[in-house]
């Protein structure tokens, strides 16, 4: 019997949370399934091809009809038994493709929680309305955390019977030992307002009044120049690492990792830091509480509370040692194997 064909569709090919999960999933499934991937040019497309996965490179144009037509063409050519789309844009394009309705469609939401908001209230209302309408074209919905799944159900985008949570997975990282006696604080992610890096910069400005430190910021995004100006105005010694090719190289610099986000559907960078044994502080928002468990410290995502939590952890070496032990153990619970197996069970329900 020929292996079952599964087509995955994602609109982002950068080396960030959702594309990383799609890669792990496709790679794991390829051992037992015929896996095909439609995504734009970029990191994900390149690494997936190297892993032997058939990749179809989505055109990048401002016109949604181009992507819909291309996905329709891929579905017609591949004739997959099931289509799995990831994220809002890919979910829109895929579920509007005429041929997609002839087979089960799985949709994974990687963004929305009750804490997430778009800057434009009108855009937010339109996007949520669209998600509800597309829910009728979806066989099964997966949330990457209970925060996501609960929100999608509450919004009428899916039902309890047609949805579940499957946590993201992570390949094990080497546990890193402190490389410096000085204080090095870091955060990693897309530099957008939702990551709340401005509050972290202001918090480190308060901490450095009593404790010399260096702030490390990894990632890129539309807020980069604004954040650089803020760091300069607050005289915070900041190292800008840009888009990373190897996160381990970034984490080895750190004494403390901080994820100050206003919302996170899961928080893969936080899990990576924990896996590396970096004492970690997370905002108490979205899926971060589900990821961190009792292996991290939590803070309100405002400047004063972040500064107080950073100061507390930086001064408590016993607590740092405890978190260095707890973090890797907690991260080990989120294995790629568990994540892939859970997806296979979903597919079996639908095929």
Claim to verify: residue 207 and residue 292 sit in the same structural domain:
yes
Q: Do 75 and 120 fall within a single domain?
A: yes
Residue 129 falls inside a structural domain: yes
Are both 59 and 146 inside the same structural domain?
yes
CA distances from 60 to 82, 159, 226, 268 (A): 24, 33, 27, 26
101 pLDDT more than 90: no
Task: Flag whether pLDDT at 117 surpasses 70.
Answer: yes
Say yes or no: 258 and 303 in one domain. Answer: yes
What number is the average pLDDT over the span 219-232?
96
Position of tokens 């996965």?
Answer: 53
In this structure, is residue 48 part of a structural domain?
Answer: yes
Please tell me whether residues 346 and 315 are part of one structural domain: no
Residues 11-23 have a mean pLDDT of 93
149 within a domain of the structure (yes/no): yes
Closest to 55 in 3D by CA, of 16, 14, 106, 7: 7
Residue 13, Cβ density class (10 Å: 0-12 exposed, 13-18 middle, ≥19 buried): buried
Please, what sign has the CA dihedral across residues 18, 20, 26, 28?
Answer: negative
Quick one: average pLDDT of 190-211?
97
Beta carbons within 8 Å of 279's beta carbon, 6+ residues apart:
255, 256, 257, 296, 297, 313, 319, 320, 323, 324, 327
pLDDT at 177: 82
Domain count across the chain = 2
Q: Residue 172 has what pLDDT?
A: 87
Are 15 and 164 found together in one domain? yes
Dump pLDDT digits (tens) for 287-298: 999 999 999 999
Helix (H, G, I), strand (E, B) or coil at 88: helix
236: alpha, beta or left? (left if phi > 0; alpha if psi -120 to 50) = beta
* pLDDT band, residue 180 (cuts 50/70/90): confident
Q: Residues with Cβ < 8 Å from 156, sequence gap 6 or more?
A: 132, 135
| Cβ 217 vs Cβ 187: under 8 Å | yes
203 or 61, greater pLDDT: 203
**Percent with pLDDT over 70 in the chain:** 99
User: Taking all residues of the chain, what is their mean pLDDT, rounded to a whole number?
Assistant: 95
The answer to whether residues 86 and 217 belong to one domain is no
CATH assignment of the domain containing 196: 3.40.50.2000
Are residues 95 and 79 part of one domain?
A: yes
Work out the widest C-alpha separation in the chain, in whole angstroms. 68
Closest CA to 9 of 94, 95, 136: 94
Based on the fold, state whether residues 302 and 237 are members of the same structural domain. Answer: yes
Q: Is residue 174 part of a domain?
A: no
Three-state SS for 77? helix
Mind listing the pLDDT tens digit for each residue in 21-76?
Answer: 999 999 999 999 999 999 999 999 999 999 999 999 999 877 678 899 999 999 99
Task: Please indicate, yes or no, whether residues 50 and 164 belong to a single structural domain of this protein.
Answer: yes
**Among the listed residues 173, 169, 201, 171, the one whose alpha carbon sits nearest the alpha carbon of residue 185:** 201
| Domain contains 178 | no
- Distance between start and end Cα atoms, the chain: 15
What are 122's two structure tokens? Answer: 């009108």
pLDDT attached to residue 25: 97
Segments forming the whole domain that contains residue 153: 5-169+335-350
Share of the chain above pLDDT 90, in %: 89
DSSP-derived letter for residue 99 is G
Q: What is the model's pLDDT at position 166?
A: 98
Residue 328 and residue 339 share a domain: no
User: Residue 175 domain-assigned?
Assistant: no
Q: How confident is the model at residue 249 (pLDDT cuts 50, 70, 90)?
A: confident
Question: How confident is the model at residue 1, as a pLDDT?
Answer: 66
In a domain, 39, yes or no: yes
Q: Is residue 102 predicted with pLDDT exceeding 90?
A: no
Region 129-134 average pLDDT: 96
φ, ψ dihedrals at 28, nearest 5°: -65, -40
Q: Does residue 198 form part of some domain?
A: yes
**Domain shared by 26 and 145, yes or no:** yes
Residue 187 banded pLDDT, cuts 50, 70, 90: very high
pLDDT in tens, 282-339: 999 999 999 999 999 999 999 999 999 999 999 999 999 999 999 999 999 999 999 9
Among all chains, which residue has been given the structure tokens 């799609």? 22
Give me the helices (H) in 183-315, please: 197-207, 224-233, 247-251, 268-275, 288-292, 303-315
């Amino acid at each position: 019997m020929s292996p079952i064909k599964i087509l995955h569709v994602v609109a982002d090919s950068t080396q960030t949370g959702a594309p990383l999960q799609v890669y792990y999933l496709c790679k794991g499934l390829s051992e037992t399934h015929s896996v095909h991937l439609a995504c734009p040019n970029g990191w994900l497309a390149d690494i997936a091809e190297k892993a032997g996965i058939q990749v179809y490179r989505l055109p990048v144009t401002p016109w949604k009809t181009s992507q819909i037509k291309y996905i329709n063409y891929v579905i017609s050519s591949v004739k997959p038994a099931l289509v799995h789309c990831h994220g809002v844009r890919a979910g829109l394009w895929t579920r509007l493709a005429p041929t997609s309705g002839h087979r089960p469609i799985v949709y994974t939401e990687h963004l929305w929680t009750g804490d997430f908001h778009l800057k434009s209230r009108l855009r937010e209302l339109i996007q949520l309305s669209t998600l509800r309408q597309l829910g009728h074209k979806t066989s099964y919905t997966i949330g990457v955390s209970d925060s996501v799944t609960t929100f999608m159900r509450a919004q009428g985008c899916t039902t309890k019977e047609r949805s579940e949570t499957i946590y993201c997975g992570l390949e094990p990282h080497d546990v890193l030992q402190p490389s410096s006696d000085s204080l090095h604080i870091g955060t990693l992610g897309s530099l957008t307002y939702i990551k709340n890096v401005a509050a972290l910069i202001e918090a480190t400005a308060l901490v450095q009044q009593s404790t010399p430190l260096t702030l490390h910021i990894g990632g890129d995004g539309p807020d980069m120049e604004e954040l650089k100006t803020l760091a300069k105005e607050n005289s915070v010694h900041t190292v800008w690492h840009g888009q990373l090719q190897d996160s381990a190289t970034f984490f080895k610099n750190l004494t403390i990792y901080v994820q100050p986000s206003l919302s996170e559907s899961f928080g893969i960078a936080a899990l990576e830091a924990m896996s590396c044994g970096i004492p970690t502080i997370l905002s108490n928002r979205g899926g971060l509480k589900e990821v961190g468990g009792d292996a991290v410290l939590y803070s309100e995502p405002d400047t004063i509370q972040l500064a107080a939590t950073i100061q507390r952890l930086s001064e408590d070496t016993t607590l740092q040692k405890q978190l260095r032990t707890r973090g890797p153990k907690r991260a080990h619970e989120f294995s790629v194997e568990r994540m892939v197996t859970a997806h296979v069970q979903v597919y079996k329900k639908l095929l």
